[in-house]
Amino acid sequence: MLLQGHPGPIVSAHWLNEHANDTDIFIVDATVHLPDTGRDAKAEYLNEHIPNAIFFDLSDIADPNNPLPRKAPTKALFFEKVGALGINNHTHIVAYDTPGLYSSARVWWLFKLFGYDNVSILNGGLRHWKQCGYSVTERIVLREPCHFESLDKRDLLALQSEVLHVSRSGGEILDARTPGRFSGTEKDRYPGTRSGHIPGSHNLYWGNLLNHETREFLPKKLIEKQFRASGVDVTKPTILSCGSGLTACILALALDQLGHTGWKVYDGSWDEWGRDHTLPIETHS
CA gap 124, 108 in Å, rounded: 15
CA atoms within 13 A on the CB side of 183: 9
Residue 146 annotated as catalytic: no
> Looking only at Cα atoms, what is the longest distance across the chain?
53
CA gap 156, 170 in Å, rounded: 20
Catalytic member of 132, 146, 242, 249: 242
Q: How many CB atoms within 10 Å of residue 77?
A: 14
Q: Which of 180, 207, 206 is nearest to 195 (CA)?
A: 180
Cα 269 to Cα 35, 102, 161, 242, 249, distances in angstroms: 17, 15, 12, 5, 11
Catalytic positions, please? Answer: 242
